[in-house]
Structure 1
Amino acid sequence: MTVFKMTFLASSFALLAACGGSDKIDGSTEAKFAASMTSISQNIDIAKKDEFDRSLSVVRASYGSDRAGMAKALDGKDADAVIALSAAISKAQAEKELAEAKVAQAKHLARARVELAEHKQKLEELKAHRLATGENGGEPSKLELMISDYMPAREKAVSNLEKMTPEQYKSADKNGIGYMELP
């Protein structure tokens, strides 16, 4: 009888191990994928559950509506591997955003330099016209005063764009760069 109990107990443990409790995602079918995700989420340590859920959100967002692609990417992964994949995705997204910010900053700087040069030229033309014609009693016109008033902000925008890092540019108010005080 003892041998029978031992055999029964051993086979019960083997059956339990085979049927459930797998801590890996099975992406072979939609049903198995959903069941394995639920199983991991329910069986994971409470301290790691929030991190796992956040990681799944990152992975889901990166795959969008391509659920099959996500299932394939997660197939065979455990919770730690999902968290690591999420970290890699987040890092790649941050690097991409930084590269995009660097390109946008360079374009913005080039545009700001052109606008500054154009406004300086326009200001000189208005001043030369005013002095040559004696128009407005020799006093600057409203347009000349307006352009002159905006010159410091345009110069500061160019200066700030030259000094700021791509990280600063990424989070900056693009319309207020000429009024910012950089550290």
Structure 2
Amino acid sequence: MTETLPAPALDAEGFRRALAMHAAGVVVITAQSDGVPVGLTATSFSSVSLDPPLVSFYVDQASTTWPSLRSADHFAVNVLASDQAELAARFARKGVDRFAEPTRWRPGPLGAPLLEGVAAHLICLPYETVEVGDHILVVGLVAEADVGGPGRPLLYHRGRFGRFTAHP
């Protein structure tokens, strides 16, 4: 799959609707940039490799948060719990102080902010970035991982946040 083929004409709205059918976990990526906490919501988080331990997410090239994240020495992946839809929405909004009340957080061991009450934290070192279309693939080398509890994850499906329910 190294050859680039011409893309057929595609209905952009139909493409968005099809992608919305895929349920995705929700994370908030956080970092310290020049002593200021920064963060954004992502639904493109994925594991990449166990050895070395790598994870990834995509960020829009037009993101105003990306330049600050890119310059950070470390970043944290905060895997949101099912009761944290408002937190996910807050970190997706523009023009708000995402770390102000009611957001509860603490500095992590390497400086990246860790959000309280999340399902898991992964503290990462930047490993690689690749421009892909209108987004940037960000790969992180996991330095620390911590599970917050047995709670359920927050999901995103068809433009709405929801909860996972296991089959009996």
TM superposition score category, shorter chain reference: under 0.3
User: Is the radius of gyration larger for structure 1 or structure 2?
Assistant: 1
TM-score (normalizing by structure 2): 0.24
Q: As a proportion of its length, which structure holds more helix?
A: 1
